Chains A and B, each alone.
Chain A
Amino acid sequence: MALPWLIKDAIDTILYKADGSVSLLRYPLLILGAAILQGCFRYGWRININGFSRRCEADLRDRVFSHLQKLPLNYFQHTKTGDLMSRMTNDIQAVRELMGFGSLAIIDAMVVIIFSLSFMIRIDPWLTLWSMLAMPLITVVVRFFGRHIFRWSRDTQEQLSVMSAYVQENLAGVRVVQAYAQEQNQVEGFATISGAYRHNTMWLATLWGIFWPLMQVLAGIAATIVLWLGGRQVLQGSMTLGAFVAFNGYLAMLTWPLMAVGYVVNQYQRGTAALSRVFEVLDTPVSPRYETFESPVRSLLSRGSVEFRDLTFAYSADHAPVLKNLNLIIPPGSICGIVGETGSGKSTLVSLLLRLFEPPDGTVFIDGRDIKRIPVAEVEAAVGFVSQDIFLFSGTIHDNILFGLDSSDGKKAEEAARIAQLLPAIESFSHQFQTVIGERGVRLSGGQKQRTALARAIIKNPPILILDDAFSSVDVETEEEILRELKRFMKGRTTLLISHRISTVRDADMIVYLRDGKIIELGTHDELVAERGAYYELYQRQKLVRQLESMKHQEERP
């Protein structure tokens, strides 16, 4: 801040008190010293404030993440992934900018404005007043343009997403487009959107195009006033040339802080809006399954009996119930097959057992205890789950199999992979267990994914095993092979086996036929076949399909 002042002294010394050569070196050294001092200060405070804001950003993101993980699954069904991502990245970034850049700029601005003004007033109060005629306008202009630029850029951004959506739709509907020879038409539609976008960006560019030069004009007007009035005073001898130069220097220093003030005001609005969006996520209550108990009973669930008692369940109050008055007791160690059409409630039933959705109190029991009275970690430990839509993580096979464990025991992973019939596949990979399977396991076939998920469930050694349509991607022969090995593992465990295939469930101790959220048939395979009901129909149909599949063309062709 002392820099222009030193320049003033230096110039005045040279011009008016030119007596010795000593002074010629003194000022440059002083200037350098002052600059180094200022540099050190700036370094210290930049690193602290910017560093602080970066740390806050990371901590905030961390908190949102850990909260997000515990939100009820319903929340994710009606919130778009893109929206959540944008809150976690763009909004948090806006908050950080407010904290870091915003606070840095405002402190910087305050210090600079106070010092510059006081030096200027000391040089000449009247000249200060005159030159300040134009400068505060800078803040006003920044605020005005900032707001409009923000609005236009938001519109432009929206138009960009309209354009993305158009391209997306065009590509998704490309068959229709090509089949009806509408390519030209689509291209014209795109031209309109792209043109509108161009039009919008031109407005934005115009605003920017006026904004920056306008800043320079305002600063330039102030400089003109100083040149004109200040020049007069130097000319009349009421001001030294050095003071004139210093005054110009301080004036130039003011431009940036005055802009910053206007900028920060806008940023404040954006930052707080972003913060409120982040808090919206944080204020959403976590899933009830994470509630803690005052005195958790540490008796591990080990027998594995499962009971659904008078269970009626709907995903939300305004949806029709998916399960209606359902009663079912599965004795420990038995295998219960569940069949039924898509949408009959099979997957919902088993997901309630893990409290992925909240069943009503007193409807779902494990080992005779209401699962809503058991800490969820215990339930998770007791249940091995292979879901219908398998989600694998992008790491290695090893990591995926060991997902549910805290250890990384290679032996265990190998054993689980062996039971799941995954070992031959793994051995054919060049990196074996360390093979990276890509996002959602894209590098694996459907059957390999299912077997990886199976191994992931097996390795937990749970008393209860849930297989929700776990073999749909493997052929019947492979399924039988897996089941043969799995039967040994299932011995002594309670197993809930959902399948579309009769062949999967036919050996189960009991088979449940679900339709529209109700059990319509219950019994062993032989009993149900003898009943000649829905199960029997399904059985007949599938028998025929298998016959068809094994048909040889030559024999059948007329």
Chain B
Amino acid sequence: MTAEFHGEEEILGKAYDARLMARILRYLRPYWKLLTVAFTFLLLHTGTQLSGPYITKIAIDRYILNQDVHGLDNMALAYLGVVFLGFLFLFIQTYTTEYTGQRAMHDLRMEIFSHLQTQDMAYFDGNPVGRLMTRTVNDVETLNELFSTGVVGLLGDLFTVVGIAAVMLWLDWQLALVCLTAFPAILYISRFYRRRAREVYRESRLILARLNAQLQENIAGVGTVQAFGQEAKMHSRFQQINYGYRNVLLRSVRYNAVFFPIIEIFSALTIGLLLWYGGGLILQQTIQAGVIVAFIQYIQRMYQPIRDLAEKYNIMQAAMASSERIFALLDTPATIKNPLRPKAPEQFLGEVEFKDVWLAYHPGEPVLKGISFRVRPGEKIALVGATGGGKTSIISALCRFYDVTRGQILVDGIDIRDWDKQHLRRQLGLVLQDVFLFSGDIAANITLGDPRISSEKMIQAARRVHIAPFIEKLPNGYHQEVQERGSTLSQGQRQLLSFARALAFDPRILILDEATSSVDTETEMLIQDALHELLDDRTALIIAHRLSTIKNADRILVIHKGEIWEQGTHQELLAQGGLYARLYDLQYRQNGERSDSGAALPNRALESA
């Protein structure tokens, strides 16, 4: 709940927008049969609502006034029947409406979620997770209100009002017209009220957003407030908003306190008119008393929908705003698309070539400047260099998280933009420095829930990277739930788990960002061993931090300031006496004085500096 998204949250537009509505209705189309049912029962229910007073009228005029006990019994039975039918109809209508709405919203949510999966990293860099979550969950929820309360409620109210007016006119048009004389005035007043209510609603939402933002800011910045001794100042600022909010709400209390009694007065006025005019008619023997009784009941039922109008209006408005935001999200095209004729060769060799690759996240600020190198199938390449030099960008570009700005990346001689995205990624195994664990059990974290990975394969992968003994010792073994942010697992174990994950997917090309965090010597040995297992018979690109990894690599690329600075084997580079040699020299010397759990690393020298 950041102030930022509250800001955009509060743009309330029109309560009805034909273009948006048409698009919303498209989601209901698959369920038109159910909708028809709901609509039919809505009409039927309105019918039962209308018939109650009518039965009363018949009972009075035909039977009570004519002393017909048997007829009265029948009428009472009919009344009871209508009551139960009303129950049934209303239930069916509510249920089908809700069912349709929920189905449609489920579809919409799925569409949003699937759409998000196709976006590239640049999109996620620009759209905070919180905002996207709001779209997928909260905005859809608001839209659902539109179905369950807004549209259906409004339709039902409309039917009721129109139906009552029609029945009244049919029973006695003169009397009905007399009763309806107050109606234009009521419409006018409720329009006035609705405007005020909307204004207050809008204002209250805005000020509530500010209140929440202020609250959030104060909780987050409480240390600063205390350090500067500004509690009183912040308090008075909060007071201003808090009491401002109260005052807006008091206004709404006032409007309600005026509006509802006024509606009641009008309702009484109408009944007064009815008695006055209807009384005259009865005296003239034109109508019978039952009509008056029925009219009284009709009038009371007619006023209810008018009271709810403002609330429903607000729901409509909020739903329109939400749908607008949702559609804006859906209309953002995926930037990294599959090519029209994607290539997905059966045979996968695992050859990688960068040809003069340039990459810029922001125009004019390239992070990779003309990177060119070739990796033969099965070759292991270590990338070393300072933070911000471009190592991570190289692997991001290879995974096609971002498309290159200039040049091209070839895998097995095919430009990665011509590859089938999914097919290519299935051949790439990515192990990130910060191991991301999903909530769920250990097994699901190794297989990522992919059904193609059998549990034998999963367990075998865990064995090969030496994490199996640890997992088997857990109370629930492979079905042990992983705690939030992985507190059940140590840093080292998390690394091993991510190795198991990569191994289970059996990629031809392994992309590894080695973790810098130091682990105890024993775990270090396990990791080195597991790494060896993982790299076996695969092409590998490693952002290396361990001296052992670097030494074992077939070739080392020293990446500095977005360029390849030096390359060669460990021995060659040392002999060269360049950047790599100096880093190594420094680290070695430092290590001589402070043992750092056996992992010597030129990179760390730079990164901790």
Contacts and interface: CB of A to CB of B under 8 A. Distances in A.
Given A15-B282, A181-B426, A76 B436 contact: no
B95 interface: yes
A202 B83 CA distance: 24
A252 B275 contact: no
B275 A167 contact: no
B98 interface: yes
Given A24-B279, A167-B132, A81 B220 contact: yes
Interface residues of A, number: 141
A38 B261 contact: yes
Interface string B111-133: 00110111001001000010011
Contacts of A73: 222-223, 226
A341 B233 CA distance: 36
A7 B136 contact: no
B54 interface: no
A320 interface: no
Contacts of B113: 167, 170, 186-187, 190, 194
Contact of B76 (A28, A50, A224, A545): A224
Interface stretch (A41-49, A124-132, A310-318, A487-495): A41-49
B467 interface: no
Interface stretch (B403-411, B468-476, B561-569): B561-569
B31 to A, nearest CB: 13
B528 interface: no
A533 to B, nearest CB: 9
Interface string B276-301: 10011011000001001100110010
Contacts of B90: 209, 212-213, 216
A62 interface: yes
Contact of A54 (B250, B272, B449): B250
A447 B56 CA distance: 80
Given A3-B268, A58-B242, A558-B576, A393 B222 contact: no
A151 interface: no
A36 interface: yes
A511 interface: no
A439 B229 contact: no
Given A58-B242, A163-B137, A245-B296, A50 B256 contact: yes
Contacts of B579: 548, 551, 556
Contact of B401 (A54, A55, A175): A175
A213 B265 contact: no
B73 interface: yes
A106 interface: no
Interface in A74-100: 76, 81-82, 84-85, 88-89
B159 interface: no
Contacts of B173: none
A235 B69 contact: yes
B64 A241 contact: yes
B464 to A, nearest CB: 18
A189 B449 contact: yes
Interface stretch (B102-110, B317-325, B546-554): B102-110
B253 to A, nearest CB: 4
A241 B354 CA distance: 96
B213 interface: yes
A185 interface: yes
A174 interface: yes
A65 B215 contact: yes
Given A24-B279, A224-B79, A228-B72, A234 B64 contact: yes
Contact of A62 (B103, B121, B222, B239): B239
Contacts of A160: 137, 141
Contact of A235 (B72, B114, B234, B511): B72
Contact of B578 (A177, A228, A383, A556): A556
Interface in A274-301: 287, 289
Contacts, number: 404
A178 B511 CA distance: 14
Given A50-B256, A182-B450, A84 B219 contact: yes
A62 B238 contact: yes
A54 B243 CA distance: 10
A66 interface: yes
Interface stretch (B1-9, B186-194, B306-314, B532-540): B1-9
A217 interface: yes
B531 interface: no
* Max chain B Cβ within 10 angstroms of own Cβ: one of A171, A391, A440, A544: A171
A178 B425 contact: yes
Contacts of A456: 228
A10 B275 contact: yes
A385 interface: yes
B265 to A, nearest CB: 5
Nearest to B124: A174
Interface in B172-230: 212-213, 215-230
Interface string A152-185: 0000000010011101111111111111111101
B461 to A, nearest CB: 13
Given A47-B254, A387-B227, A176 B75 contact: no
A50 B253 contact: yes
B605 interface: yes
Q: How large is the interface on B (under 10, 10 to 19, 20 to 34, 35 or more residues)?
A: 35 or more
Given A55-B246, A217-B87, A14 B95 contact: no
B593 A537 contact: yes
* Max chain A Cβ within 10 angstroms of own Cβ: one of B114, B226, B292, B586: B226
A183 B426 CA distance: 12
A542 B563 CA distance: 22
Contacts of A31: 268, 271-272, 275
Contacts of B254: 47
Interface in A333-377: 341, 354, 356, 376-377
Contacts of A55: 246, 250
B27 interface: no
B83 A46 contact: no
Nearest to B225: A69
Interface in B391-427: 399, 401, 421-422, 425-426
Contact of B430 (A27, A71, A180): A180
A122 interface: no
Interface of A: 3, 7, 10-11, 13-15, 18, 21, 24-25, 27-29, 31-32, 34-36, 38-40, 42-43, 46-47, 50-51, 54-55, 57-58, 61-62, 65-66, 68-71, 73, 76, 81-82, 84-85, 88-89, 160, 163-165, 167-183, 185-187, 189-191, 194-195, 198, 201-202, 205-206, 208-210, 212-214, 216-217, 220-221, 223-224, 227-228, 231-232, 234-235, 241, 244-245, 248-249, 252, 287, 289, 341, 354, 356, 376-377, 380-381, 383, 385, 387, 391, 393-394, 403-404, 406, 438-440, 456, 460, 537, 540-542, 544-545, 548, 551, 553, 556-558
7 contacts: A11-B289, A168-B129, A178-B399, A187-B114, A224-B83, A354-B226, A391-B224
**10 A-B pairs with the lowest CB-CB distances in the bound complex, closest first:** A35-B268, A220-B83, A28-B272, A39-B261, A228-B76, A380-B229, A205-B98, A179-B430, A58-B246, A209-B94
Interface of B: 1-4, 52, 55-56, 59-60, 63-65, 67-69, 72-73, 75-76, 79-80, 82-84, 86-88, 90-91, 94-95, 98-99, 102-103, 105-106, 109-110, 113-114, 116-118, 121, 124, 129, 132-133, 136-137, 141, 148, 212-213, 215-231, 233-235, 238-239, 242-243, 245-246, 249-250, 253-254, 256-258, 260-262, 264-265, 267-269, 271-273, 275-276, 279-280, 282-283, 289, 292-293, 296-297, 300, 386, 399, 401, 421-422, 425-426, 428-430, 432, 436, 438-439, 448-451, 501, 505, 511, 560-561, 563, 565-566, 576, 578-579, 582, 586, 590, 593, 605-606, 608-609
Given A46-B257, A54-B246, A62-B239, 11 more contacts: A7-B296, A28-B273, A34-B268, A62-B242, A66-B231, A175-B399, A177-B117, A208-B94, A231-B59, A387-B224, A558-B566
